[in-house]
Amino acid sequence: MNQIKKLRHGGIKYQTANGKILIQDVHVIDPSQKLDARLNVIIENGKIGKIAQDMPQNFDGEIIAHKEAVLFPGLIDMHVHLREPGREDEETIESGALAAAAGGFTAVACMPNTDPAIETQEVVNFIKEEAQPLLVNVYPVAAITKRREGKELAPIAEMAEAGAVGISDDGTPLMNAEVMRRALEYAKMFDIPVLGHEEDSNLSRNRHMHEGFYSTKLGIPGIPSVSEEIMVARDIMLTEYTGGRFHVCHISTRKSIDLVRQAKIKGIPVSCEVTPHHFTLTDKAVESFDTNTKMNPPLRSADDLAAILDGLRDGTIDAIASDHAPHSIEEKEAEYIYAPFGITGLETAWGLIVSELLNKKIIGLKDVYRLCVVNPRKILNIPIPKIKEGELADLSLLDKQISWRLCDLPGYSRSKNTPFGERVLTGRPLAVINKGMIFRNV
Amino acid sequence: MEFRVKAKLVTSEDLRRIVTRLAHEIIERNRGINDLVIVGLLTRGAYLAHRIAKKIEEIEGKPVPTGDLDVTLYRDDFRTRLKQPDVQVTNIKFQIDEKNVMLVDDVLFTGRTVRAALDALMDFGRPNRIHLAVLVDRGHRELPIKADFVGKNIPTSIGEEVRVKLTEVDQEDCVYLVEAVEEEK
Amino acid sequence: MNFKSGHLLGLEYVDNDDIELILKSTKSFREILDRPIKKVPTLQGKTVVNLFFEPSTRTRISFELAEKRLSADSVNFSTSTSSVKKGETLLDTARNIEAMKIDMVVIRHQSPGAAHFLALNLDANIINAGDGAHEHPTQALLDMVTIAEHHKSFKGLKVGIVGDIAHSRVALSNIHGLRKMGAKITLCGPATLIPREVERLGVDICYNIDDLIADVDVLNVLRIQLERQDSGFFPSLREYHQYFGITRERLEKATKPITIMHPGPINRGVEISSDVADSEHSVILNQVTNGVAVRMAILYLLAGGEHESN
């Protein structure tokens, strides 16, 4: 029978999937196994059993049936901020992983701007240990430089060996090109990517939203697009020069996307990700002065959003990643110029993917597979789960139809800083299965 | 709220005669026009005041200082009104200290407007005395206020209203008695 | 015609009818300032708090006088002597003051949206006295009242605004208010101080002050702050004065008399020279008087009666 596993910090959230589970008559998508049809999938002892078009007779386990659902190999969010160690009031590894599970993800990659930063083997190990009993796989991204100061390289080799899947100073741009060059060369040895937060801090200092008509109208100093673009251009050139692998985090402007597109045509190993808020909102949203419209990179213009949709369609953009950035109420409930950048994203990502991309026919389900299952894992060199008999079950079951709002639910993230709380979303994550455990959204 | 005209109580000829009579009465009570100043309550009280002033000037051969007073800012229903009433511009270009002020309004009803006018006048200075002249007194006082000069006494009931029309703002010169009509649902 | 929301957060949000109502009502309140007893009992029993997080003597005094002339109880709160230094948040400061049962808050703050923030979180009527570089609606209204004293109509009136437009809430509020009344606005200043895409607000841009002077009815001269020179927006105040300063020599080339305005305080010899500031075409002091009247009108219009909740 199913047993209930208690977690160290209390709370009963995951159930073991040791018995038999039948996921009945859902749309199963796994292009690597040429699967794109309504099928029945049996899971037994944490592994995938029979996959068949016909319903199994006399099934003696738990049946999960949901007509409007799709079953993917586990989705991954490759850019989240878990605030542990340092700001456990905002988020812990456990609460962040729960939020990920509730969001339909079985894996996340977490950024190193914790306190202390992920800049030593000890911190990498700490995170892995904390994450070990959780359903969701947590892959640490290590800092590029000591204390993320942008001056001296951190012990990258040690951290890669301990399990870091990439390096990044995310949150802060790496302004010194010489240091970035060395990082690209060094990381090459371990075949881990450099994940870049692209911003020129001289152009962006003391600025709080996108520079354009709305920043002019609202009197808020704006961050020009060119701040991101010149760094993207610089880092693409450094990547070409050094032969390393580079990934642009949270890409946000038309020119940045064009630069990545051109680089790919030339065969330079550059990839990029986009956040759900960047394919949903523009700088016009700041008119409300709601600090949940404040993040970095900022919400950009309508033209940039159009370029993002094009980039998703034509494959220039490799991944969707939320940049989940929890902040406490006291910090966000402040005047616009004093509030910190960042919004949560794990629990609303799928709803926005369905409402803004699938239902508007920008991309299809096969693209979701590419953007949320495969590409992020390719970039981070992580094994890609398969829906195949005998494989470990690592699955995301997602509904495409239900209308819902995050504010009507308790929510699993410790922080509530999102502009999408009261937005009606279409498509709700139903359950995730991984490591012999299942999590269900109520 | 719809209103229905019940009667025309004062015609334009009547109005002309009333203005003449009031002018004479005022001059008589004041024993001339020394130290007399006239202040009319905006809007129709002010037009009346100017008519009376003109008549007095015709009679005595000398002009009488005349001003307009807006009492909106002194009203006592400020806190209970749903909408801010529009303020108008007070125009009193003379001193009222030690003068005999003739306050002029079109209709005297509860007396609250006159109370507000008295407060306003006190902020302009310390007059010798204040008299009140009205075109119509319709009764139903809620404060101890009385008019010294009355054009016409028109007893009314609560559902009725007195409507003064003056050509400076309306198409005609007259006074109607109207009553509220229940709207057909 | 009513301020339905119960707040004055900016002229972007005020419709034409309400702007006209304010301009009209201001006349009544202006008249009170010429009386021997400059007081009316209208706001008796109402309490207004002046919450000034940015130093400002003249705007605060102007509001304070407006409140007192309406017989309201006026309370001042400024950050130099306050709990904010002890780390209290804006929200807590405002809530604490509201708990003392006040009716209206006049707020000046360095962050755009600070007035919106209070309007969202308090029950009191909120008046924006300047939020960062966003809006300063009462300043623009008093500018418009002053313009109306010297020009018959706003329609087609050519207004020039000169100076540090990018950091100017006065400029933004004036643009909203004047455009709604049909005026034609041209902005002038160093290119580094003209904000991006500002033409989308329906204004023209000009970098040559002499060209502007040749064809304008009203000139609103903005203050140049020393900090802008320090942050590298232009090389020196001297150069600014040479290329954009309003001097008598420049004005002599005007084809018609220009109404000269300035929100104050004036940097004599920088954006405007003394002989211009003190000339017969300068209405700077009228602006100050009108400022009290406009603020009385706003307090009056917001204070009475019911308001729709936002």
pLDDT digits (tens, 9 = 90+) for A20-77: 899 999 999 999 999 999 999 999 988 999 999 988 888 888 889 998 999 999 999 9
* C11-136+291-303 and C137-287 agree in CATH topology: yes
Q: Which amino acid is at A428?
A: R
Contact between A213 and C196 using a beta-carbon 8 Å cutoff: yes
CA distances from C161 to A13, A266, C189 (A): 62, 50, 9
pLDDT greater than 50 at residue A3 = no
Higher-confidence residue of A20 and A98: namely A98
In chain B, residues with a C-beta closer than 8 Å to the C-beta of C297 are 87
> Could you give the percent of chain B with pLDDT greater than 70?
95
Yes or no: is domain C137-287 CATH 3.40.50.1370?
yes
Are residues C45 and B87, on separate chains, in Cβ contact within 8 Å?
A: no
**Spatial separation of the C-alpha atoms in residues A215 and A209, rounded to whole Å:** 7
pLDDT tier, B144 (very low <50, low <70, confident <90, very high otherwise): very high
Task: Tell me what the mean pLDDT of segment C33-48 comes to.
Answer: 90
Confidence of residue B71 (pLDDT cuts 50, 70, 90): very high
pLDDT in tens, A256-312: 999 999 999 999 999 999 999 999 999 999 999 999 999 999 999 999 999 999 999
Cis status, amide bond into A116, omega within 30 of 0: yes
C165 contacts: CB under 8 Å, gap ≥ 6: C171, C187, C189, C193, C194, C195, C198, C222
Contacts of B156 (CB under 8 A, 6+ apart): B138, B139, B140, B162, B177
Share of chain C above pLDDT 90, in %: 72
Q: Please tell me which residue of chain C has the smallest CA distance to A214.
A: C197
Please check the confidence at residue A10 and state whether its pLDDT lies above 80.
no
Domains of chain B in start order, with CATH, are 2-78+86-181 (3.40.50.2020)
**Set A283, A304, A323, A399: catalytic member:** A323
Residue C251 binned pLDDT confidence (cut-offs 50, 70, 90) = very high
All residues at 6 or more sequence positions from C178 whose CB lies less than 8 Å from its CB, including other chains: C140, C144, C154, C157, C159, C185
- The count of residues in chain A is 442
A2-19 residues labelled b (16+ CB within 10 A) or e (exposed)? eeeeeeeeeeebbbbbee
Q: Which of A4-13, B52-61, B80-89, C278-287 ranks highest by mean pLDDT? A: B52-61
Per-residue model confidence (pLDDT) at position A310 = 98
Structural domain boundaries of chain C?
11-136+291-303, 137-287
Amino acid C37: pLDDT = 87
Q: Percent helix, strand and coil across chain A, each rounded to 5?
A: 30, 25, 45
Distance of CA C95 to the CA centre of its chain: 26
Looking at chain B, how many residues does it have?
185
How do residues A390-419 score in pLDDT, each as one tens digit?
Answer: 999 999 999 999 999 999 998 999 999 999
Give me the percent of chain C exceeding a pLDDT of 70: 93
At C83 the pLDDT is 57
| pLDDT for the residue numbered A45 | 87
Structure tokens at A131: 């994450």
- Please state the rounded mean pLDDT for residues C229-249: 87
Distance (Å, rounded) from C-alpha C186 to C-alpha C175? Answer: 9
For chain B, list residues whose CB is within 8 angstroms of any CB belonging to chain C: 70, 72-74, 78-79, 81-84, 86-91, 119-120, 123-125
The DSSP code for A167 is B
β-pair type (A20-30, A62-65): parallel
Task: Report chain B residues whose CB lies below 8 A from the CB of C31.
Answer: 89-91
Percent of chain A with pLDDT over 90: 90
Instruction: Label residue A132 by pLDDT band (50, 70, 90).
Output: very high
Structure tokens at C182: 């049909």
The predicted structure's pLDDT at residue C305: 55
Instruction: Please tell me the predicted confidence (pLDDT) of residue C309.
Output: 44
CB contact under 8 A, C42 and B78: yes
DSSP per-residue string spanning chain C: ---TTS-B--GGGS-HHHHHHHHHHHHHHHHHTTSSS---STTTT-EEEEEESS--HHHHHHHHHHHHHTT-EEEEEEGGGSGGGGT--HHHHHHHHHTTT-SEEEEEESSTTHHHHHHHH-SSEEEEEEETTS--HHHHHHHHHHHHHH-S-STT-EEEEES-GGG-HHHHHHHHHHHHTT-EEEEES-GGGSPTTGGGGS-EEES-HHHHHHT-SEEEEPPPPHHHHHTTSSS-HHHHHHHH-B-HHHHHT-SS--EEE--S---BTTTB-HHHHTSTTB-HHHHHHHHHHHHHHHHHHHHSS-----
For residue C57, what pLDDT band results from cuts at 50, 70 and 90?
confident
Burial (CB < 10 A; 0-12, 13-18, 19+), residue B30, is middle
Per-residue buried b or exposed e for C218-256, using 16+ beta carbons within 10 Å of the residue's own CB: bbbbbbbbeebbeeebbeebeebbeebbbbeebbeebee
DSSP per residue, A327-346:
--HHHHSS-TTTSPS----T
Whether C131 contacts chain A with CB within 8 A: yes
- Interval A411-441: pLDDT, tens: 999 999 999 999 999 999 999 999 999 999 9
For chain B, say whether C40 makes contact (Cβ under 8 Å): yes
Contact A336 C201 (CB under 8 A): no
Read off the pLDDT of each residue in C175-195 and give the average, rounded to a whole number: 96
Q: Which domains does chain A have, with CATH numbers?
A: 4-71+389-440 (2.30.40.10), 75-380 (3.20.20.140)
Which residues, including other chains, have CB under 8 Å from residue A208's CB and lie 6 or more apart?
Answer: A220, A221, A222, A223, A294, A298, A336, A337
Query: Do residues B37 and B104 lie in contact, with contact meaning Cβ atoms separated by under 8 Å?
Result: no
Q: Where are the beta strands (DSSP E) in A299-402?
A: 319-320, 395-399
Please report the pLDDT score of residue A4 as a whole number: 41
DSSP reduced 3-state for A6? strand
Q: Tell me, what's the pLDDT at A11?
A: 44
Chain C residues 142-201 within an 8 A CB cutoff of chain A: 166, 169, 172, 195-198, 200-201
B118 neighbors B132 (Cβ within 8 angstroms): no
The chain-wide mean pLDDT, for chain A, equals 94
Instruction: State mean pLDDT over B11-28.
Output: 96
Nearest to B164 by CA among B115, B104, B123: B104
Which pLDDT score is estimated for C82?
Answer: 55
pLDDT of residue C223: 92
- Return the CATH number of the domain spanning residue range C11-136+291-303: 3.40.50.1370
Query: What's the pLDDT score for residue B79?
Result: 60
In angstroms, rounded to a whole number, what is the distance separating the alpha carbons of residues A326 and C144?
45
- The C-alpha atoms of residue A223 and residue A209 are separated, in whole angstroms, by 6
| pLDDT tops 90 at residue B83 | no
Q: How confident is the model at residue A319 (pLDDT cuts 50, 70, 90)?
A: very high
Q: pLDDT tens digits, residue range A138-190?
A: 999 999 999 999 999 999 999 999 999 999 999 999 999 999 999 999 999 99
| Among the listed residues C105, C143, C142, C144, the one whose alpha carbon sits nearest the alpha carbon of residue C127 | C105
Calpha distance B60→B58 (Å, rounded): 6
Within a 10 A sphere around the Cβ of C90, how many other Cβ atoms? 21
B87/C304 touch (CB, cutoff 8 Å), yes or no: no
Mean pLDDT confidence for A191-201? 97
pLDDT at A1: 32
- What pLDDT does residue C97 have? 84
Based on the residue annotation, tell me whether A323 is a catalytic residue of this protein: yes
Q: Sort out which chain A residues have CB atoms less than 8 A from C166's CB and list them.
A: 216
Which of B73, B77, B92, B121 to mutate to probe the C interface, most C CBs <10 Å?
A: B73
Mean pLDDT of chain C: 90
- Do C142 and C66 touch, CB atoms closer than 8 A? no
Under the phi-then-psi rule, with left for phi > 0, alpha for psi from -120 to 50, and beta for the rest, what region is C74? beta
pLDDT > 60? residue B36: yes
Is the minimum CB–CB distance between A219 and chain C shorter than 8 Å?
Answer: yes
Nearest of A46, A65, A10, A86 to residue A328 by alpha carbon: A86
Distance CA A159, CA A380 (A): 14
- Residue C4, chain B, CB below 8 Å: the answer is no
pLDDT band of C1, cuts 50, 70, 90: very low
Set of chain C residues whose Cβ sits within 8 Å of the Cβ of A219: 112, 131-135, 169, 172
Distance of alpha carbon C55 from alpha carbon C75, whole angstroms? 16
What does the pLDDT read at residue C77?
84
CB contact set of A191 (below 8 Å; sequence gap of 6+):
A245, A381
Across A194-229, b (16+ Cβ under 10 Å) vs e yields: bbbbbbbeebbeebbbbbbbbbbbbbbbbbbbebbb
